[in-house]
Structure 1
Amino acid sequence: MAFWSNWFGGAKPPAASPRASFQDAGGGIVITTAQQLEEALRSGTVTASGAAVTPDSAMRVAAVYACVRIISGAVATLPLHIKRRVDERTREDASDTPIWTVLRRRPNRWQTPSQFRRMLQAHLLLRGNAYAMIVRSRGLVQELIPLHPDRVEVRQTDDLA
């Protein structure tokens, strides 16, 4: 009989408690230390069920995967325009720059321009930032190497550069 009482709304299983060490503030989490902030940023968001949601685990959900694929693909097909600032209000076409050629023809040895732009847009959607390392030879841009956002540490210098 316990089976039927459980089946029709009798006993309910105990609710899972969040596994993270953050304090729940009724609708959110309170982060009180730098270590908790780093843990939250590195491990994903803890849901009410206690499961951490990371960009990688989110991509296992068909709807998230489809959205990222469609948005990244759409952005990759948009026309690419590089502008040079002439003065405060005026911009002119800068298609004569080496970076335009790299972005338009071959960003690196293993990706087409579309693949490169799709990857950067997916990084932006899932992780909030996208980075590429500029490879130069004799001062001219030769390649753009995509960098994984989780492995990049941004530092700002004292002169705000």
Structure 2
Amino acid sequence: MQRKEQLEQNQNKSISRRSITWRPPPENWLKADVDAAYRRATVEGATAVVIWDNSGRLLTGESMRIITHSSLVAEAEAEAMRRVLILATNFNLEKIIIKSDILPLVQAVKSKTYIAEVEPILRDILLLAESLSNCGFTWVPRQGNKITDGVAKCSLAGQLEENWR
């Protein structure tokens, strides 16, 4: 029995050691990472958007502090997703893959369904996405979104100016 437990522990360690590597988007496409940070005690949040080209070069990004109306971090993350779509529209970025580490949010956008607490934001996301000729959404594990997570946390802590593009 002890051997089986030891094997399971080793397997779990192996899984947690797997590195998440950044994969570039296809040529002529961009990748946008979105993330959010949230402080329950004050219902404050911060959004972060970082846009990369297919060689891994940072093109632009922004962060913004927000007041959330829901205790769900999905509201702040959905707001970040809306922000990247607004940026893409304003800068005429036609081919963009948007990554989020909130799986239910990505599933809702891809299936064009709603999460009640963030329905108005999701409606905006779907309208903005339709206005772009090529736009996709994908889920990434939290470990694959560390830079954008750091930007959101710095913004929430007041350590980063808003709209630092």
Query: Normalising to structure 2: TM-score of the pair?
Result: 0.25
| Structure with the bigger percentage of helix | 2
Q: Comparing both chains, which one has the higher relative contact order based on Cα–Cα distances under 8 Å and sequence gaps of 6 or more?
A: 2
| Structure with the bigger percentage of strand | 2
